[in-house]
Amino acid sequence: MRYRRLGDSDVEVSEISLGSWTYGAGVERDRTEACTRAAFDAGINLFDTSNVYGSGAAERAWGEVLSDFKRDSYVLATKVFFPMSDTDRGLSREQIHKQLDASLERLQTDHVDLYQCHRPDPETPIEETMEALTEVAEAGKVREIGFSEWTVEQIQAGLDVPKTKKFVSSQPQYSAIWRAPEAELIPFCAEHGISQVVWSPLAQGALTGKYKPGEPPPAESRAAGGEMNRAVGRHRPDELLEAVQRLVPIAEGAGLAMAQLALAWVLHREDVASAIIGASRPEQVHANAEAAGVELTQDTLNAIDEALGDVVVSGPRLANFAAAGVTHR
């Protein structure tokens, strides 16, 4: 495993990180523990969750599992924004304090290393949000702060609030298929010392090659349940899946599995600190972790671009559940 610095902070994170979107809910407790222990064995130190995953179930599951490990041996990240009840949502001062305390209780810890705004909240003055994030950091409950799927305008507004904690991380959707962040987000963040910790680097499984054009998805896959990668949804599925199949000989030529090729592609950018993987089996964790440190040649990168062609999504995109705009006091 290799490690990269998280923005301007002194936090170092593993190039591959483990996400918990399905833990505590879709993935049962014993598999959650097996995958988490496999992550430690593979050198993964960044564990990313959110209060909304399983309505707190993912945090509770990791609170139990991670209690077996020394607190300073891993970097723990969680998020706030999405509804936790009919009245609890957003990035107000009240919600940030309330939801963080609830997350810490579920996670069985006194602090998180990275607290992220899961989406922007244009209904709350940006000054209130940034001041609240600073308050929880000064209280020792949060080491660093970040955001997920904010626009450049919103990030700049947050950075402009005086005497407040500075963002060190951004969590966008990013993969060889979904390259929207390259247009504005990644260059802007690079100028301001903000790293990318990317989600869906495998395009929710599409880039593993397991979905074949003209064939139903494998019975055990997410797509079999009607949940297909959002990037796939922007194209005719067979068109995208045919393009992905053109990556197979490229991966073989590089001596990599398809998932490893996709993860190495994301990590070829120095401003990507870590790629978040999901796993329901420990062997998936170990296989994906092997992408760390892989350096793709320029010829391989060019071949990937040629193979994917027009199915690549580029240009700025507003993420699902995100809203543009900024409110000031």
> What residues act catalytically?
53
For 62, the token pair is 């990791």
Which three-class secondary structure string do you get for 93-121?
A: HHHHHHHHHHHHHHHCCCCEEEEEECCCC
